[in-house]
């Protein structure tokens, strides 16, 4: 296997022409013979470069509406022939097959067409056949051929053409081939997942990967696969860690339910909300959120649903926190927050997330739909004689949004659009409630007139009894227990309002 390969011929067949101009210019200046097809050939000719059309090699035109262009032995023989094999070279000469040293391909946009809501016919037509075959052939024969399988590789290609005059090392060809097989496997996975609709084998392919300093603990290796640049603009701070990423994900899920609403601020620790409040302005919302549990807030993740101003930033700056997330920052607020060297500051661009949740389990994986349901007023079934007031309904729905994103078993207590406390990750609902009551009382909150949210039904009336005796006046829960009536009867007897949503929000 030769170390260096000098590019003398190139086949270019791309869907998108962006970024092609400087590549063609350098190939022409190096005297490289360019082969091309259809619209790509037209484009190259308009650039003033000489191009040999593939049809002149194969003696066949593009047929079947463009479905067949390059699928021909004279094309694939030019790519796959092994320069060091005597028999290969004899056949190349006998059948007058021109060698091809560089293949540049850009596949049909299958995923983009699917994401845009294309019709079935439009999606099917964006399944690339010739392009994917060219990629596999060129990448397989990377001992002699350079394969550039996506526009993201143009910058690297351009640099080698410029700095090395079209001479590619074996390491460079191998790197291009590795990326090419990544492109082809990702493309095929997307097509399979479209046809399988989640039935059968699980095929995951994420085009971006990054190694982290470590995993959940220093002795564990960790990586993240995804494109964070789509979600955030990082203004400041150290690299996001494995645990940071989990907390940031939890923060975005919590705040998603408050997007577009009144100023809301949340503080999270270990994936659970330890402070959240809605107020008339963001600084007051932050103060109310911090008051919920100022101890847990230390080293937490902070997130706002509105632009952070200087007043709010001055309050935040007094607290040691790992990450601050907001849709935007006033310039003076951002400058102040950058005053802490390691504080991570993220401007949230969007809240786009995967629709499926995947986690390892036993010797395989569990996959489920993301819980997209947010409890709202039209879902409520008024189970008791005493109906909640308007303000209680607002608090019940407020508490429900937090409860949905808290580890089960969980109980959330709230009043006046402020989280008062939550019991998180307990083995019994009674334990979760008692934890929440104790925590609220520890930080000086009056539970008289507060509301309670539960992520699942009450199998016995003990929880509503304990809550009532602590001062809770209204309850929201999914219902569905065969003993729902016991809890309803207790509430009716003691004047507690209860609503049911019919939707459970377990989070494990």
Q: What's the rounded Cα separation, in Å, for the pair 362 and 244?
A: 25
Surface-to-core class of residue 235, CB atoms within 10 Å of its CB (0-12 exposed, 13-18 middle, 19+ buried): middle
**403-406 own/partner pairs: CB under 8 Å, 24+ apart:** 403/453, 403/454, 403/455, 403/505, 404/257, 404/371, 404/374, 404/375, 404/455, 404/505, 404/507, 405/250, 405/253, 405/254, 405/257, 405/273, 405/507, 406/272, 406/273, 406/455, 406/507
Q: Which of 140, 203, 287, 307 is catalytic?
A: 140
**Pick from 156, 161, 145: nearest CA to 29:** 161
What residues contact 386, with CB distance under 8 A and at least 6 apart? 491, 492, 495, 496, 497
> By three-state DSSP, how is residue 260 classified?
coil
> By three-state DSSP, how is residue 170 classified?
helix
Query: Look-up: residue for tokens 């189970």?
Result: 383
DSSP string, 267-301: EEETTEEEEEEE-SSHHHHHHHHHHH-TTTTTTEE
Q: What's the rounded Cα separation, in Å, for the pair 143 and 170?
A: 7
- Angle at Cα 109 formed by Cα 107 and Cα 110, nearest 5°? 105
Strand partners, 498: 475
- Angle at Cα 354 formed by Cα 233 and Cα 248, nearest 5°? 45
Q: What's the rounded Cα separation, in Å, for the pair 446 and 443?
A: 9
What residues contact 389, with CB distance under 8 A and at least 6 apart? 474
Q: Which of 182, 236, 270, 307 is catalytic?
A: 270
Q: What's the rounded Cα separation, in Å, for the pair 472 and 475?
A: 8
Q: What's the rounded Cα separation, in Å, for the pair 446 and 420?
A: 9
**Pick from 507, 439, 498: nearest CA to 254:** 507
219 is catalytic: no
270 is catalytic: yes
> By three-state DSSP, how is residue 420 classified?
strand
- Positions marked active-site: 140, 270
């Amino acid at each position: 296997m030769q170390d260096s390969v000098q590019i003398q011929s190139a086949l270019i067949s791309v869907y998108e022409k962006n970024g092609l101009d400087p590549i063609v210019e350098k190939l022409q200046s190096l005297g490289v013979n360019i082969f091309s097809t259809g619209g790509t050939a037209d484009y190259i000719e308009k650039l003033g470069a000489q191009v040999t059309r593939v049809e002149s090699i194969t003696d066949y035109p593009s047929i079947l509406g463009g479905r067949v262009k390059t699928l021909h032995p004279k094309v694939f023989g030019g790519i796959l022939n092994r320069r060091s094999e005597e028999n290969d070279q004899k056949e190349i000469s006998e059948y007058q097959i021109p060698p091809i040293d560089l293949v540049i391909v850009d596949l049909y946009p299958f995923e983009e067409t699917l994401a845009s809501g294309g019709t079935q016919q439009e999606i099917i037509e964006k399944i690339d056949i010739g392009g994917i075959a060219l990629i596999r052939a060129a990448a397989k024969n990377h001992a002699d051929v350079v394969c550039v399988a996506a526009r993201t590789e143009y910058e690297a290609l351009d640099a080698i053409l410029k700095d090395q005059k079209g001479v590619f090392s074996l390491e460079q060809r191998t790197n291009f081939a590795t990326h090419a097989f990544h492109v082809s496997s990702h493309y095929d996975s997307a097509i399979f997942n479209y046809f399988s609709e989640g039935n059968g084998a699980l095929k995951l392919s994420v085009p971006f990967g990054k190694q982290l300093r470590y995993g959940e603990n220093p002795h564990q290796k960790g990586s993240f696969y995804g494109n964070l640049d789509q979600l955030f603009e990082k203004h400041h701070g150290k690299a996001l860690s494995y645990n940071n990423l989990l907390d940031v994900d939890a923060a975005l899920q919590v705040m998603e339910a408050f997007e577009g609403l009144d100023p809301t601020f949340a503080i999270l620790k270990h994936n659970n909300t330890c402070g959240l409040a809605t107020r008339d302005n963001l600084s007051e919302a932050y103060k109310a959120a911090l008051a919920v549990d100022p101890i847990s807030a230390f080293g937490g993740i902070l997130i706002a649903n509105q632009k952070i101003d200087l007043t709010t930033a001055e309050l935040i700056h007094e607290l040691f926190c790992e990450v601050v997330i907001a849709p935007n920052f006033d310039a003076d607020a951002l400058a102040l927050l950058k005053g802490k060297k390691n504080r991570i500051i993220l401007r949230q661009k969007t809240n786009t997330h995967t629709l499926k949740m995947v986690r390892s389990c036993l010797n395989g994986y569990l996959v489920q739909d993301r819980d997209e349901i947010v409890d709202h007023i039209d879902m409520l079934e008024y189970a008791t004689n005493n109906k909640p007031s308007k303000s209680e309904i607002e608090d019940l729905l407020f508490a429900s949004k937090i409860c949905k994103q808290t580890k089960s078993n969980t109980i959330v207590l709230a009043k006046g659009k402020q989280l008062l406390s939550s019991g998180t990750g307990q083995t019994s609902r009674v334990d979760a409630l008692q934890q929440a009551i104790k925590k609220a009382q520890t930080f000086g909150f009056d539970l008289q007139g507060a509301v309670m949210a539960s992520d699942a039904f009450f199998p016995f009336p003990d929880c509503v009894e304990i809550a009532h005796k602590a001062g809770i006046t209204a309850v929201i829960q999914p219902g569905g227990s065969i003993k729902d009536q016991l809890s309803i009867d207790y509430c009716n007897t003691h004047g507690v309002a209860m609503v049911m949503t019919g939707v459970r929000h377990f989070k494990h």
